[in-house]
Amino acid sequence: MTRRATCCCGQCTIDVDGEPEINGVCHCLNCKKRTGSAFGWSAYFADSQIRNRRGDVAVYAIGGAKTQKRWFCRNCGSTLFWKAAARPGLTGVAGGCFADIPLDAPSVTVSNDGRCAWVGLPEEWRRSF
């Protein structure tokens, strides 16, 4: 199965084959700021699962201990995908951008010390990846 993740305006896309290796939510400050939400929903696919990337994207690079590059739509600003030094060989894709063929529910939650007190998650979810 091939899925397509799309930015808000629809001008930028990334196509992936199969299921993500990691499908989880993260409560770190970096993910909260990236999404403007209480957590970030990240689906990590092996680089070999990436089929196409289309659209006019720009990159935002973060240096230091948590080196990361994020690609976002130049038109609407949606962060669509990223590469993180902590996850070599994997490409992260914003879980909410898979609208036409949604992902399954996440099964992992990380950086739980940053979780907002009002966010409740299933007990059966793994607590790290």
The stretch 74-90 carries a mean pLDDT of 96
β partners of residue 26: 40, 110
Angle at 90 between CA 24 and CA 64, to 5 degrees: 90
- Distance between CA 24 and CA 107 in Å, rounded? 6
* CA 57 to chain centroid: 16
- Classify domain 2-112 at the CATH topology level: 2.170.150
The stretch 102-116 carries a mean pLDDT of 93
* pTM (2 d.p.): 0.91
pLDDT band of 129, cuts 50, 70, 90:
low
Provide the residue count of the chain.
129
Residue 121 has pLDDT above 90, yes or no: no
Residue 14 has pLDDT above 70, yes or no: yes
Q: Is 36 exposed, middle or buried (0-12, 13-18, 19+ CB in 10 A)?
A: exposed
Q: Average pLDDT, whole number, for the chain?
A: 93
Return the number of other C-beta atoms located less than 10 Å from residue 12's C-beta: 25
pLDDT band of 6, cuts 50, 70, 90:
very high
Q: Is 42 exposed, middle or buried (0-12, 13-18, 19+ CB in 10 A)?
A: buried
The stretch 41-67 carries a mean pLDDT of 95
The stretch 94-102 carries a mean pLDDT of 94
The stretch 81-104 carries a mean pLDDT of 95
